Structure 1
Amino acid sequence: MSDQTIIRFEHVTKRYDQDAPVLDNVSFEIERGKFYTLLGPSGCGKTTILRLIAGFIEPSQGNIYFNGRIINNVPANKRQVNTVFQDYALFPHLNVFENVAFGLRVKKVSKSEIQKKVTEALRFVNLAGYENREITEMSGGQRQRVAIARAIVNEPEIILLDEPLSALDLKLRTEMQYELRELQRRLGITFIFVTHDQEEALAMSDEIFVLNQGRIQQSGTPIDIYDEPINRFVADFIGESNIVPARMKADYVVEFAGRTFECVDKGLQPNEAVEIVIRPEDLEITASGKGKMQVRVDSQLFRGVHYEIKGIDDAGNAWLVHSTKRADVGAQIGLDFDPEAIHVMRFGETEEEFDKRLESYEGSETGGGGHGH
């Protein structure tokens, strides 16, 4: 555990009654001053992790450490943690100032100190001058900023955010992503953000934990997660992917779609059955008969910044292509891609095994330092 670790989960399981565990033997560390995102589908365990950190529930097994001290039984009001809920949980009968001041009044902080802290918190979230505004008169984005001001006014070491952008429209949601990220940088404290929105996680995070069925599938930077998915679930859940059955022929050589291709992976067994991932934006359309493979165009949609083209290769594999070039339905086209665009996934590989395999070819002459797209 490093000196920067603020939260550590050690083999934590959470179950209700005799049901299957909502969280299953999970271990991870959170460092101070970073923006973390817990990402996954509904029911994967991400909100359970948030509630365990907040102290709303206790683990069934394992230990949770805060600054090196076990906090399993420490009540929520004794933790240096504040939560921003999905519905913001503001008091409609109190104005902006009183909503932000509420926790301080409960703690019996002096009137002058409350005035100072609330003013500073509202300035931080760009709501200076809104002190007397009624909550019912505020927009969705403004209400969210009030909720964040109420969280930071208590000077917590961690702010937990439980899908706080989900109720906003797309334009406001995008604006608030920038605002939240900038706010975290200015405050310099740890944010732990829960979402099921992959683009949101990729845009905002220093580090992402991808969860499914109560377990962490993979953790890493957004680039790590996107470029080096550990398994089919992560590859499919994070962005759009072409996932095709393949066979590793030798180091740096993989076979799929009836042909062999150069890649940048090694450390697998000869003739081992694997899956490969190629992102749609890494496929380039060429003329028929050219490129590394041929596909027949099944459909084409215009998405504004690119065409979304679906095609089928001779082996029956479906391919999704994002390109600025259009292709007519029924046409035969070629697809080209670099060896670095091919990411090989081993069936049933753990994150630790994957990391070791990645290290074995990172920095090598052929690997060129990994899958930098």
Structure 2
Amino acid sequence: MNVKPASEAIISFQGVTKQYEGDPAVLKDVSFEIERGKFYTLLGPSGCGKTTILRLIAGFTEPTEGRIYFNGKVINHIPANKRQVNTVFQDYALFPHLNVFENVAFGLRIKKLKEAEIKEKVLEALRFVNLVGYENREINEMSGGQRQRVAIARAIVNRPEIILLDEPLSALDLKLRTEMQVELRELQRRLGITFIFVTHDQEEALAMSDEIFVLSEGVIQQSGTPMDIYDEPINRFVADFIGESNIVAGRMTQDFLVEFAGKTFDCVDQGLQPNEPVDIVIRPEDLEITRPEDGKLQVKVEAQLFRGVHFEIQCIDDAGNKWLVHSTRRADVGEAIGLTFDPEAIHVMRFNETEEEFDRRLEAYS
């Protein structure tokens, strides 16, 4: 895919490849655009290339091939200190010998601003992250969440055009992590600055993002809003990586009719070849438990776990397909039950379909 930098795009990658000498390419011909004022997430497993994209935007490394545009200008060789970009690192990279005020003021002092201006900017940044009154606190006296706020204050104190966040929540416990997700999202809205967030946590990406880029093996597999990614995964990797999924082999017999698990079902997909092999995705929460005779599928319960808000029920059908069900209804191990679902719950995935082909097919439905 080859894109030209658009006027509304603050960052554009055009055919970017990154390869270190003697190693396979970390990024492979990657092209995308980042619009101003949105919260983006780069999501994928370790080694997929998401942190490399962050480093390329920050200027910590240069692409092997391709071009990177910032506000329409090529920045391949522009050093990091000349870019309107600040980074919040995973370990926060705070100075332990400086207090909160001096950590936030560090970059301003390098620029040799006047003391009154430094004080004004630092206090404004601390207000944004709810740390007014902590100016003289030592870093080793701060909690993990407070340290993260200091790192964010230091990143926003000069109002950069882009803030890069490299898994900054990974060291926090679950409750604090959830709280900081809300705070970060609200902070981005108030500032209006473009945030680019790196994580391997799917729930985190779905909760915080305007748009998500899902990466695997140096390639963007799919991009879109959280709902787009969750409801309409493009391939087996995305469907399996984003949330929990039931993925079974099927065959598209004709428009609006698909076969899997030895039966034929109504669906909402069209535009595929008659009898084309496909993968079928049904999310666990879209399966409803019924009596066996009332179900579209008849299954046997193999295991059940209580997850607080629902039961997680593992089943198997007569064709040997495994099914995961999320239900508020309890089932017993060994029990025969029925499963029913709406045609809209069936998501059909073609093999080797590009994102452009996938988008055209979805547009045809509407």
TM-score, normalized by length of structure 1? 0.97
CA deviations on 1:113-158 (whole Å, 9 max, x unpaired) are 0000000000000001110000000000000000000000011000
- Range 291-300 or range 205-214, more displaced: 291-300
Residue 290 of structure 1 deviates from its aligned partner by 1.1
Aligned residue for 1:33? Answer: 37
CA deviations on 1:174-195 (whole Å, 9 max, x unpaired) are 0000000000000001000000
Answer yes or no: is 1:177 the counterpart of 2:181: yes
Maintained 8 Å contact 2:6/2:72: no
CA deviations on 1:307-363 (whole Å, 9 max, x unpaired) are 00000011110000000001110110000100000000001111011011111112x
Answer yes or no: is 1:139 the counterpart of 2:143: yes
Aligned residue for 1:24? Answer: 28
Mapped partners of 1:62, 1:88: distance in 2: 31
Give 1:322's aligned amino acid. Answer: H
Match of 2:258 among 254, 258, 264: 254
SS in 1 for 2:248: strand
Answer yes or no: is 1:115 the counterpart of 2:122: no
Residue 235 of structure 1 deviates from its aligned partner by 0.1
Match runs of 1:20-169 below 5 Å: 20-169=24-173
Answer yes or no: is 1:346 the counterpart of 2:346: no
Match runs of 1:240-251 below 5 Å: 240-251=244-255
Mapped partners of 1:179, 1:3: distance in 2: 30
Mapped partners of 1:183, 1:267: distance in 2: 43
Mapped partners of 2:360, 2:338: distance in 1: 35
Maintained 8 Å contact 2:301/2:336: yes
Give 1:239's aligned amino acid. Answer: G
Aligned residue for 1:9? Answer: 13
Aligned residue for 1:370? Answer: none
Please, what is the CA RMSD of the aligned residues? 0.6
Residue 291 of structure 1 deviates from its aligned partner by 1.7
Aligned residue for 1:274? Answer: 278
Answer yes or no: is 1:312 the counterpart of 2:316: yes
Give 1:208's aligned amino acid. Answer: I
Residue 2 of structure 1 deviates from its aligned partner by 3.7
Mapped partners of 1:289, 1:22: distance in 2: 52
Percent of pairs identical after alignment?
81
Aligned residue for 1:204? Answer: 208
Maintained 8 Å contact 2:254/2:275: yes
Mapped partners of 1:19, 1:143: distance in 2: 36
Residue 80 of structure 1 deviates from its aligned partner by 0.1
Give 2:19's aligned amino acid. Answer: R
Alignment length (residue pairs): 362
CA deviations on 1:275-298 (whole Å, 9 max, x unpaired) are 010000000000121121100000
Aligned residue for 1:366? Answer: none
Mapped partners of 2:68, 2:18: distance in 1: 12
Mapped partners of 1:326, 1:42: distance in 2: 36
TM-score, normalized by length of structure 2? 0.98
Mapped partners of 1:60, 1:312: distance in 2: 48
Give 1:215's aligned amino acid. Answer: V
Deviating beyond 3 angstroms after TM superposition, the runs of 4 or more aligned structure 1 residues are none
Give 2:88's aligned amino acid. Answer: V
Aligned residue for 1:369? Answer: none
List alignment gaps of at least 5 residues for structure 2: none
SS in 2 for 1:289: helix
Match runs of 1:223-242 below 5 Å: 223-242=227-246
Match of 1:358 among 352, 359, 362: 362
CA deviations on 1:226-263 (whole Å, 9 max, x unpaired) are 00000000000000000000000000000000000000
Answer yes or no: is 1:302 the counterpart of 2:302: no
Residue 18 of structure 1 deviates from its aligned partner by 2.7
Mapped partners of 1:155, 1:174: distance in 2: 25
Aligned residue for 1:367? Answer: none
SS in 2 for 1:166: coil
- Range 1-10 or range 107-116, more displaced: 1-10
Mapped partners of 1:149, 1:82: distance in 2: 11
CA deviations on 1:41-85 (whole Å, 9 max, x unpaired) are 000000000000000000000000000000000000000000000
Maintained 8 Å contact 2:163/2:195: yes
SS in 1 for 2:349: strand
Residue 3 of structure 1 deviates from its aligned partner by 2.9
